Amino acid sequence: MRQVAVVGAGMTRFGKHQDRSMKDLAREAVENALRAAGIEKETIEAAAVGNAVAGLITGQECIRGQVVLREMGIGGIPVINTENACASSSTAFHLAWLYVASGMYDTVLAVGMEKLFHPDKKKTFEAIGSAIDLEIADEFARQMSGEQAAGAGESRSVFMDYYANLARAHMARYGTTREQFARIAAKNHTNGSLNPHAQFQTPRTMEDILAAPLIAEPLTRMMCSPIGDGAAAVVITTAEKARQLTSKPVYVRASIVASSQQHAEGAPGIVTNAAQKAYKMAGISPQEVQVVEVHDATAPAELIVYEELGLCSPGEGGKMIDDGVTTLGGRVPVNPSGGLLAKGHPVGATGVAQISEIFWQLRGEAGKRQVAGAKVGLTENGGGVLGNENAVASVHIFTL
Amino acid sequence: MRQVAVVGAGMTRFGKHQDRSMKDLAREAVENALRAAGIEKETIEAAAVGNAVAGLITGQECIRGQVVLREMGIGGIPVINTENACASSSTAFHLAWLYVASGMYDTVLAVGMEKLFHPDKKKTFEAIGSAIDLEIADEFARQMSGEQAAGAGESRSVFMDYYANLARAHMARYGTTREQFARIAAKNHTNGSLNPHAQFQTPRTMEDILAAPLIAEPLTRMMCSPIGDGAAAVVITTAEKARQLTSKPVYVRASIVASSQQHAEGAPGIVTNAAQKAYKMAGISPQEVQVVEVHDATAPAELIVYEELGLCSPGEGGKMIDDGVTTLGGRVPVNPSGGLLAKGHPVGATGVAQISEIFWQLRGEAGKRQVAGAKVGLTENGGGVLGNENAVASVHIFTL
């Protein structure tokens, strides 16, 4: 397969964009990505568009990518609409990569987009419930009221129990502490304060995180990612064309999408499997990775993913955050963008936003949150009920 | 890119499966495809699953492919969920093909599936409206009653006016007649009577078609495709592995997905563009094609597609059906399966079902509807509002 490189990225700020449509958000992201790549929209030969729940939010299921792109004058090309829950747009990126790697097309756009906020809150809740997703449980608690209480409360309990159970199991097995989870959330909120695209830009201490309302032991509200709207886009092309466009192409060294399966107790989970395939594909070891964006749906998820990605040994996630290894300035900063916890998590936009962050980091364009000298980056994006049979994981590895 | 071949196909009968779930329909199709290919499910390395409107029908948007496949013990692999309106599963096939052609995976499953019938008819209408689709307009008329009349009536009028306008424009420009459209519908219903998978299996004459209730001049009800449920699946692999599995691999010679764009009056439309790319990719001319499945959402659509695919010259579609060229026994039979008009059109299942038909035809396994000696086949699958900016067309070419 051909070598592929990212040559441009763009995203909106994540957050509550009550007055903006998904089209409008996508336009901002795509136009910024094209501008960053220094190419005209006519150069784009195909597009892959990730979105999770617009069907339920808008009542309009079909060809959402075409509808969004033609607004900005992009048409006549193959548009692949794809959905993989919270991993929708890393899946879109994977398909865009496949188009270029295969030799089918040279220059392809990958877009992630989502509007979760709706004037009718019930629609937001239904859509989120539909995402079989967990991380937004915080907002269920935050926004629950009156008529939504029953349904939302039930979802919340399923969601939070799940993550809380995972966290408690890790605590029981390895002695991991609430303070360690809080330290992860504090790191991400503090990173978010350095990122103009982040939904939350207020630095937080471990004490702030622990003082937030308890959702389900050990999770406090600030250990959970919020509801948000947003879009992100990247332009990819062949290595050869990339070198004509920029002195700093960001090469895609591995692109893996996996789904989970029934497996024996104690067998490696979906993230571990996807990561191992990605390392093998890239010919890169976990120890060589210098900057990482992971799917921190909740703070404990990030800690567990350290281990699943092989950034540390099983059970040593707590020590890793205590030692500051994953903090900005540490050996391998994780979620310098603020992650899902602070940058936000508009479901279908998250995957491409993670890739955008690694693009900027490897090129030295990440501003105040820059990881100095990073040349190897990794993204991990999850979807569905992780640990369950209906889950998705996507791992990408990039080098300058 | 590597050469790819289809080695197995399976589908349910299309129709009203009120008592069966989408999972159940998909299972039948996938198990039949695996059996036909002579492989175990463990051999499948990835899957692409096309579905258009299950989100609105079920209220559950996400990872529908994983949910369906794990029921039959297929997990741990990448599952790509894709949607492109009525072309959803030809898009899924395109992605499955891309996986094998690129070298990423060897043996991949493509699935199309849809449940349109719902005990609450309102849900069916909403979902169909969401597909921005036209062909099911007949059923709007057929099923309209009481509370649905207003909304459904409005959609019906938009849908049917559109197709009726296309038909009338062709009549005005080229002298095409109602009888020619009726002849196409009669051919497809008669073909459907030979196909055990078809929703409608009653042979019809031109007179029957013309005597059906008028929907919008010149369309009668029997010139419009029905609402239906169903699933279809195919297994594809590398040419090398295919030759180990079967003495009759069906090679994929071209796989094109396109979207429409704003274009100048009189410029070639989306189907023409997609077909020209496909012929070029395959190195095959329209004159070499021996059996075709097209997207006959309505009878006039099939006639117009004859011209867009270059099976005849512009304006000669009417003559082509009059001369029996596209009838079973003619030079290039079109829709031997019965097409959307008689085989049925469960939106997201249609693309892979068309490909299944060509697979069976080229292998001589099409029973009473067999096109004798066909070695070159083509499928054309459309989606969205054809002729409009928000449309999709997919063209595939196959050889024995």
A133–chain B Cβ distance below 8 A for any pair: yes
Mean pLDDT of the A22-51 span: 97
Q: Closest Cα partner for A311 from A343, A337, A333?
A: A333
DSSP string, B106-170: SSEEEEEEE----SSHHHHHHHHHHTT--TTHHHHHHH--GGGHHHHHHHHHHHHHHHHHHHHHH
Model pLDDT, residue A150: 37
Cβ neighbours of residue B362 under 8 Å, at least 6 residues apart? Answer: B248, B250, B291, B374, B375, B376, B377, B398, B399, B400
CA dist A156 and A142 (Å) reads: 10
Could you tell me which residues are beta bridge partners of residue A46?
A108
Mean pLDDT of the B114-123 span: 84
Find the helix packing angle between B88-102 and B350-363, rounded to 10°: 60
A105–chain B Cβ distance below 8 A for any pair: no
pLDDT for residue A214 is more than 80: yes
Q: CA of A130: which chain B residue's CA is closest?
A: B60
Model pLDDT, residue A117: 85
Q: Closest Cα partner for A193 from A184, A204, A179, A182?
A: A204
Partners of residue A256 in chain B, C-beta under 8 Å: 78
Mean pLDDT of the A80-107 span: 96
Could you tell me which residues are beta bridge partners of residue A95?
none
Partners of residue B103 in chain A, C-beta under 8 Å: 1, 102
Model pLDDT, residue A160: 65
Q: Which candidate from A52, A95, A103 shows the least CB-CB separation from B61?
A: A52
| Confidence band for B269, pLDDT divided at 50, 70 and 90 | confident
Mean of pLDDT over chain A = 89
Q: How many of the other CB atoms lie within 10 Å of CB of A7?
A: 26
Percent of chain B with pLDDT over 90: 75
Only one residue has tokens 């607004």, namely A71
Q: Closest Cα partner for A111 from A12, A203, A202, A183?
A: A12
Partners of residue B71 in chain A, C-beta under 8 Å: none
> In this predicted model, which residue has the larger pLDDT, B382 or A96?
A96
pLDDT for residue B232 is more than 90: yes
> In this predicted model, which residue has the larger pLDDT, A303 or A160?
A303
- If you ran DSSP here, which 8-state letter would residue A201 be given? -
Collapsing DSSP to helix, strand or coil, A383 comes out as strand
Number of helices (H), then strands (E), belonging to chain A: the values are 15, 11
Catalytic residue among A86, A189, A224, A312: A86
Alpha-carbon dihedral angle through residues A293, A294, A296, A301, given to the nearest 10 degrees: -150
Provide the residue type at A129 as one letter. G
A384–chain B Cβ distance below 8 A for any pair: yes
Q: How far is CA A75 from CA A68, B264, B391, in A?
A: 10, 13, 10
Is B67 within 8 Å of A390 (Cβ atoms)? yes
CA dist B191 and B187 (Å) reads: 6
A220–chain B Cβ distance below 8 A for any pair: no
Q: CA of B269: which chain A residue's CA is closest?
A: A76
Mean pLDDT of the A271-284 span: 97
CA dist B17 and B349 (Å) reads: 14
Q: Where are the beta strands (DSSP E) in chain A?
A: 4-11, 46-50, 79-83, 108-114, 214-216, 219-220, 230-238, 250-259, 291-293, 376-384, 391-399
Partners of residue B94 in chain A, C-beta under 8 Å: 78
B82–chain A Cβ distance below 8 A for any pair: yes
Mean pLDDT of the B106-123 span: 90
pLDDT for residue B366 is more than 60: yes
Provide the residue type at B290 as one letter. Q
CA dist B100 and B107 (Å) reads: 7
- If you ran DSSP here, which 8-state letter would residue B227 be given? P
CA dist B349 and B90 (Å) reads: 9
pLDDT for residue A383 is more than 90: no
Model pLDDT, residue B118: 83
CA dist B299 and B134 (Å) reads: 12
> In this predicted model, which residue has the larger pLDDT, A154 or A223?
A223
Cβ neighbours of residue A242 under 8 Å, at least 6 residues apart? Answer: A5, A6, A7, A249, A251
> In this predicted model, which residue has the larger pLDDT, B55 or A109?
A109
Residue positions of B annotated with a catalytic role: 86, 345
Collapsing DSSP to helix, strand or coil, A123 comes out as helix
- Ranges of H-type helices in A193-283: 206-211, 239-245, 270-282
For chain A, the straight-line distance linking the first and the last C-alpha, in angstroms and rounded, comes to 19
Model pLDDT, residue B311: 98
Task: State the maximum Cα–Cα separation within chain B, in Å, rounded to a whole number.
Answer: 58
Mean of pLDDT over chain B = 89
pLDDT for residue A195 is more than 90: yes
Partners of residue A103 in chain B, C-beta under 8 Å: 1, 102
Q: What is the pLDDT of residues B331-361, one digit of tens each?
A: 999 999 999 999 999 999 999 999 999 999 9
Mean pLDDT of the A72-82 span: 93
Is B387 within 8 Å of B379 (Cβ atoms)? no
Model pLDDT, residue A134: 37
Q: What is the pLDDT of residues A293-313, one digit of tens each?
A: 999 999 999 999 999 999 999
Q: Closest Cα partner for B381 from B301, B281, B268?
A: B301
Is B391 within 8 Å of B260 (Cβ atoms)? yes
Mean pLDDT of the A193-198 span: 98
Cβ neighbours of residue B288 under 8 Å, at least 6 residues apart? Answer: B376
| Confidence band for B277, pLDDT divided at 50, 70 and 90 | very high
Model pLDDT, residue A147: 32
> In this predicted model, which residue has the larger pLDDT, A5 or B215?
A5
Mean pLDDT of the A158-181 span: 88
Residue in B1, B4, B41, B66 to test binding to A, most A beta-carbons within 10 Å: B66
CB contact under 8 A, B62 and A95: no
Model pLDDT, residue A58: 76
Q: What is the pLDDT of residues A304-359, one digit of tens each?
A: 999 999 999 999 999 999 999 999 999 999 999 999 999 999 999 999 999 999 99
CA dist B336 and B189 (Å) reads: 10
Q: Which candidate from B53, B75, B94 shows the least CB-CB separation from A389?
A: B75
Do you find a cis peptide bond into B196, omega within 30 degrees of 0?
A: no
| Confidence band for B388, pLDDT divided at 50, 70 and 90 | low
| Helix, strand, coil percentages for chain B (3-state, nearest 5) | 45, 20, 35
Q: What are phi and psi of B92, to 5 degrees?
A: -60, -45
Model pLDDT, residue A264: 60
Tell me the two tokens of residue A238. Answer: 């062949």
Collapsing DSSP to helix, strand or coil, B332 comes out as coil
Provide the residue type at B212 as one letter. A
Is B239 within 8 Å of B2 (Cβ atoms)? yes
Model pLDDT, residue A384: 75
Q: What is the pLDDT of residues B120-136, one digit of tens each?
A: 877 777 776 665 443 44
Q: How many of the other CB atoms lie within 10 Å of CB of B196?
A: 9
Is A354 within 8 Å of A377 (Cβ atoms)? no
Only one residue has tokens 């741990």, namely B76
> Would you say the pTM of this structure is higher than 0.90?
yes
Q: Closest Cα partner for A9 from A38, A40, A34?
A: A34
Partners of residue B260 in chain A, C-beta under 8 Å: 66, 75-76
| Confidence band for B190, pLDDT divided at 50, 70 and 90 | very high
> Mind telling me how many Å the CA of B320 is from chain A's nearest CA?
29
> Mind telling me how many Å the CA of B274 is from chain A's nearest CA?
10
Model pLDDT, residue B148: 36
Q: How far is CA B40 from CA A83, B7, B43, B73, in A?
A: 27, 13, 6, 11
CA dist B8 and B39 (Å) reads: 9
Highest mean pLDDT among A138-147, A150-159, A210-219, B285-294: B285-294
A84-93, A157-166, A185-194, B220-229: least confidently modelled range: A157-166
B60-74, B107-121, B309-323: least confidently modelled range: B60-74
pLDDT for residue A366 is more than 60: yes
Is A395 within 8 Å of A310 (Cβ atoms)? no
CA dist B290 and B326 (Å) reads: 10
Mean pLDDT of the B27-42 span: 98
| Confidence band for B389, pLDDT divided at 50, 70 and 90 | low
CA dist B26 and B86 (Å) reads: 17
Cα angle at B166 between B160 and B168, to 5 degrees? 95
pLDDT for residue B188 is more than 70: yes
Partners of residue B105 in chain A, C-beta under 8 Å: none
Q: CA of B254: which chain A residue's CA is closest?
A: A104
Q: Closest Cα partner for A224 from A234, A212, A232, A236?
A: A212
CA dist B9 and A301 (Å) reads: 41
Percent of chain A with pLDDT over 90: 74
Interface of B with A in 153-192 (CB under 8 A): none
Model pLDDT, residue A144: 37
CB contact under 8 A, B390 and A85: no
Only one residue has tokens 């390895």, namely A174
CA dist A13 and A35 (Å) reads: 17
Model pLDDT, residue A139: 42
In total, the C-beta contacts within 8 angstroms joining chain A to chain B are 195
Tell me the two tokens of residue B266. Answer: 């009189």
Is B269 within 8 Å of B314 (Cβ atoms)? no
